[in-house]
Amino acid sequence: MLVSPLPPAQPLSLAAEMLKSQVIIFVIGGPGSGKGTQCERLAAKYQFQHLGMGNLLRAEASEPTRQGRQIKDIMLKGALVPSGFVLDLLNENLLQREEAKGFLVNGFPRELNQAKDFERVGRPPNFVIVLDCSTETMIQRLLLRGQTGNRADDHESCIRQRLETHYSLCEPVITALFVLQIIGEEPEDAIFAKCCSVIDSLR
Ligand code: AP5
Which atom, in ligand 1's list, is nearest to the CA of 151?
11
Q: Which fold has domain 21-201?
A: Rossmann fold (3.40.50)
Pocket test for ligand 1, best of 2, 27, 35, 166 (most atoms within 8 A of CB): 35
59: left (phi over 0), alpha (psi -120 to 50) or beta: alpha
Residues with CB under 6 A from ligand 1: 29, 31-37, 53-54, 57, 74-75, 78-81, 86, 107-108, 110, 114, 141-142, 145, 162, 187-188, 191
Contact 114, 87 (CB under 8 A): yes
Q: Cα-flanking dihedrals φ and ψ of residue 55, to 5°? A: -65, -45
pLDDT of residue 122: 72
> What pLDDT was estimated at residue 99?
84
Q: Around Cβ 178, how many Cβ atoms within 10 Å?
A: 7
Q: Which of 37, 157, 162 best tests ligand 1's pocket when mutated (most atoms within 8 Å of CB)?
A: 37
At 23, which amino acid appears? V
- Sketch the domain layout of the chain as residue ranges: 21-201
Q: Which atom of ligand 1 is nearest to the CA of 131?
A: 14
pLDDT, position 3:
55
pLDDT for position 5: 55
Helix (H) or strand (E) holding 127: strand 127-132
Let me know the angle formed at the C-alpha of 40 by 34 and 153, rounded to the nearest 5 degrees: 50
Pairing between β-strand 23-29 and β-strand 127-132 as defined by DSSP bridges: parallel
Query: By the 8 A CB rule, do 79 and 48 touch?
Result: no
Q: Give the phi and the psi of residue 147 in degrees, each rounded to 5.
A: -70, -20
pTM of the model: 0.94
* Ligand 1 mean position, distance from CA 132 (Å): 13
pLDDT tens, N- to C-terminus, the chain (203 residues): 565 554 444 555 556 677 778 999 999 999 999 999 999 999 999 999 999 999 999 999 999 999 999 999 999 999 999 999 999 999 999 988 878 999 999 999 999 999 989 877 778 899 999 999 999 999 999 999 999 988 999 999 999 999 999 999 999 999 998 899 999 999 999 999 999 999 999 87
